[in-house]
Structure 1
Amino acid sequence: MRKLFGICLVLTSVALLVSYGLWTEQRPAGHYLSDLRIRLAINAGQPGERGNLLGVEPELFPTDYQSLEQLHRKLAAYLQQAREQGLINPRTIVVLPEHVGTWLFVRGEKNQLYQASARDEAMSWLPWSNPLAFIAAIVQATGENRLEDAYLRMKAHSMAQDYQNLFGGLAKEFGVTLVAGSIVLPEPYVEEGQLRTGHGTLYNSSLTFGSDGQPMGQPQRQRYPGAYQHDYVQTARNTPLNVIDTPAGRLGVLIGSDSLYPANYAELNTRGVELIAVPAFVAGKSSWVSPWRGLWDKSAATDIDLRAGSLSEGEAWHALTLTARPPHSTARAGVSVFLRGQFWDQGSSGHSFASYNGQTLGEQPFENRTLSGARLINLWL
C-alpha cells in the first residue's frame, strides 16, 4: 500500500509539472479594440524644404503590448494620419516618448497580466509564466531593486529585437528619421546593424533609425535617470552625447530628465547640434501640476537656482528645457514628447511642447477638462 501511494504521488507530481509547463507556454491572444484617433495639438511654423520635428504623443495601455502587430497597428495609424495631414516628408524627424519601448517586456503575456487592476498584481504573473527566464534574471540582477531589475532583464534579448523590428520598420515604412523613445536594457549596443544586449547593468537608452530602417549610431544612454527608477537603472554620467546627421540637420537626443541639466546643452553646443529631441515621461496622474520635487542628482545641478516646491512640475520642465534659448543652447529647435496612458494603477501626466526661437510652444489649456487621446506636436523648421 505504501509503495502504491508513493507511485501515485510521483505520477501526480509529474502530471502537475507537465501541466504547469504547458501552461507557461500558452499565450492566448486577447481581443482589444484600440482607439486610433490622434489630433494635431501643436502646429507651428510654415511648411518648407527644411523639414520638421514631429512629436507623436501616443496614448498607450498594457493591452497595446499584447503583440508586436497590435502595437505596430496603433503607432502606424498615428503616423498615417500625420501623413494625410501633410506632416511627413523625407526630412521629417519623428520623436516618440520615453519608455515606449520599455513596456515591450510585457509583450506576449497571459491575459491575467493585462486584466490586472494594479501594477504589482500584473507583475506577479511574470515569474509564474516565465520561471526559467525569471530565475536567470534575478541571479544576474545588479540594481538595488533586484525584482524590478529582473522583470526588465528577463526578456532583454527579445525586447531588443522587437524594438528594432518595430521602430526600424516604422521609420522605413514612412520614410522618416525616427527617434524611438527609449527602452531599458542591459548594456545595449549596436553591432553589425543590430541592437544587442550585454549582461551588465540596466540603462535607459534611445536609438534613432534612419529612413532605411537601420540604426543611426550607438544607443544614447540616459545620464541622469529620474527618482522613480534610480534603484534599478544605472546613471551614465560619463557617457558621451551622440550627434546624428539627419536630412533636417544635426540632431542630439536628451532622454527625459537629461533635458533639465544645463551642462548637457553646453556639450551639444560644442558639437554643432541644430535640433534636440527629448523623449520624456512623468509618472503620476497629477504630477504635472504638483509641486516640483527638484532634480534627483544634486551634484550635477549646482548651476540651477530653482528651489524644489517653488513651481509646478510642468513649469520646471518649461523653465529648464533650454532648447533654442541662446546662449544656453544654440540649437534652433527642439521638441519634448511625453508618454501618455494608463498602465494599471500607474498614470502619467506630461504635456508635450516644442521650443523655437527662444519660445516654448505648448498646447492651449482647456478649461475644466483634460482631453484624452493621442496628440501630434509639429514644428516646421
Structure 2
Amino acid sequence: MRKLLYLTLSMALLAAITTYAMWAADRPVGHYLSDLRISLAVDQGTPSDRGNLLGIQPELFPTDYQSPERLHRKLAAYLHSARDQGLLNNKTIVVLPEHVGTWLMISGEKDELYQAPTLKEAMNWLAVSNPLKFVRALISAEGGSRLDDAHLRMKAKAMARDYQALFGGLAREFHVTLVAGSIVLPEPSIIDGALKIGHGALYNTSVVFNSEGLPMGQPQRQMHPVFAGQDGVKANGEHSLNVVDTPAGRLGVLIGRDSWYPENYRKLDDQNVQLVAVPAFVAGRGTWEQPFQGDRNSPKPTSGGLNAAELSEGQAWERLTLTGRMPVSQAVAGMSVFLRGQFWDQGSAGHSFLSRNGQHFADGNAQGARLLNLWL
C-alpha cells in the first residue's frame, strides 16, 4: 500500500513538473498593433555636407519588445520617415534614448507577462517562465535588491546578442552612425567586434555602431546611474569617457545624469570632442513638471548658480545638461533624447532637446514619437 502511495505521488509530481516545463517552454506570439507614426518636432539649421544629429524619441510599450523583429519594425519605420524627409545621409548620427535596449530582457516571453497590470507582476512572470535562468542569475546577483539584479542579469547573453544584431543592423540598413541608447549588462565589452558580457557587476552601457553595423570603440559605462548600488547597477568606477571618430566629427556619449557634471565635459574637451549625445530617461508620468529632486547619488552635480528648489525636473535637465555651452563645453552641438512610453504601471517623462553654439532648442510637446534634427 505504501509503495502504491509513493508511486502515485511520484507520478503526480512528475506530471506536474512535465506540465510546468511544457508551459514554461511555450511562447505563443500574440496579436500586435502599434502606432508607427512619428512627427518632426524640431528641425534646426540648414542642410549641408557636414551631416546632422538626429534624435529619435520613440513611444514604446511592452508588446514592442515581444521579439527583436517587432522592435526593429517600429524603429525602422521611424528611420524610413526620417529618410523620406531628407534627414538621413552618410554623415548622420542617430541618437536613441537611455534603456531602449534594456527592455530586451522581456523579449520572447509569454502573453501573461505583456498583459500584466504592474511591473512587479510582469517580473514575477519573467522569473516563473524562466526558472533555471532565474535561479542561476539569483545565485550570482549583487546589490541591495537581488531580485532586480537577477531579472536584469538572467537573459544578459541573449540581450547582448539581440542588441548588437538589432541596432547594428539598423545602422547598416540606413547607412548611419547610431548611438544605440543604453542597455544594462554585466561587465560588457567589445571583443573581436562582438558585444560580450562578463560575470561581474551590472552597468548601464551605450554602444555606438558605424554605418557598417560594427561597434565603435568600447561600450560607454554610465558614471552616475540612478539609485546606484541599490538595484545592482554599478557606477563606472574608472570615470573614463570613450570618444569615437564619426564622419560628422568626434563624438562623446554621456548617459543620462552623466550630462550634469562639468568635469565630464572637461574630459571630452581634452579629447577634442565636437558632438555630444545624451541618451536619457525620466521615470514617472508628469515628473517633468514636478519639482526637481536632484541627484540622489551626488548632492552637487553642478558648479554654482543652481537653485534646485525653484526648478522643475525639466528645467533642471535643460540647465544642467551643458552640451554646447561655453566655456564648460567646447562641443559644437549636443542632443538629449528621452525614452517615452508606458511599461505596465510605470510611465515616463522627458522632453528631448538639443543645443548648438550655446543656443538651446526644445520639443515643447512630448506626445507621441518625435524626431529632432540638427544640421551641423
Which amino acid is the alignment partner of residue 301 of structure 2?
A: A
Any stretches of 5+ residues in structure 2 without a counterpart? none
How much does 1:12 deviate?
A: 0.9
Shift in CA distance, 274/316, structure 1 to aligned 2, threshold 3 Å: same
Shift in CA distance, 14/304, structure 1 to aligned 2, threshold 3 Å: farther
Alpha-carbon displacement from aligned partner over 1:116-153 (angstroms, at most 9, x marks no partner): 11111111111211001000101101111111100000
Quick one: distance in 1 between partners of 2:241 and 2:171?
Answer: 22
Shift in CA distance, 237/361, structure 1 to aligned 2, threshold 3 Å: farther
Alignment coverage as a number of residue pairs: 376
How much does 1:300 deviate?
A: 6.0
Give the TM-score taking structure 2 as reference length.
0.98
SS at 2:41's partner residue?
strand
Aligned to 1:246: 246
Residue pairs, 1:58-97, within 5 angstroms: 58-97=58-97
Residue pairs, 1:124-139, within 5 angstroms: 124-139=124-139
SS at 2:39's partner residue?
strand
Aligned to 1:105: 105
How much does 1:114 deviate?
A: 0.2
Aligned to 1:192: 192
> For the Cα contact (< 8 Å) 1:294–1:307, is it kept in 2?
no
Residue pairs, 1:229-240, within 5 angstroms: 230-240=230-240
Aligned: 1:380 with 2:350: no
Any stretches of 5+ residues in structure 1 without a counterpart? 366-370
Which amino acid is the alignment partner of residue 187 of structure 1?
A: E
Deviating beyond 3 angstroms after TM superposition, the runs of 4 or more aligned structure 1 residues are 227-231
How much does 1:294 deviate?
A: 1.1
Shift in CA distance, 346/364, structure 1 to aligned 2, threshold 3 Å: closer
Quick one: distance in 1 between partners of 2:9 and 2:326?
Answer: 76
> For the Cα contact (< 8 Å) 1:224–1:257, is it kept in 2?
yes
> For the Cα contact (< 8 Å) 1:29–1:111, is it kept in 2?
yes
> For the Cα contact (< 8 Å) 1:333–1:355, is it kept in 2?
yes
> For the Cα contact (< 8 Å) 1:55–1:94, is it kept in 2?
yes
How much does 1:231 deviate?
A: 3.2
Quick one: distance in 1 between partners of 2:371 and 2:202?
Answer: 30
SS at 1:46's partner residue?
coil
Aligned to 2:151: 151
Alpha-carbon displacement from aligned partner over 1:264-306 (angstroms, at most 9, x marks no partner): 0111011100000000000010110110011223266362442
Quick one: distance in 2 between partners of 1:115 and 1:7?
Answer: 39
How much does 1:230 deviate?
A: 4.7
How much does 1:5 deviate?
A: 2.0
SS at 1:298's partner residue?
coil
How much does 1:372 deviate?
A: 2.6
> For the Cα contact (< 8 Å) 2:289–2:314, is it kept in 1?
yes
Quick one: distance in 1 between partners of 2:41 and 2:308?
Answer: 29
Q: Alignment identity in percent?
A: 61
SS at 2:22's partner residue?
helix
> For the Cα contact (< 8 Å) 2:251–2:273, is it kept in 1?
yes
Shift in CA distance, 295/72, structure 1 to aligned 2, threshold 3 Å: same
Quick one: distance in 1 between partners of 2:303 and 2:125?
Answer: 45
Give the TM-score taking structure 1 as reference length.
0.96
Aligned to 1:204: 204
Quick one: distance in 1 between partners of 2:313 and 2:296?
Answer: 13
Aligned to 2:218: 218
SS at 2:276's partner residue?
strand
Aligned to 1:2: 2
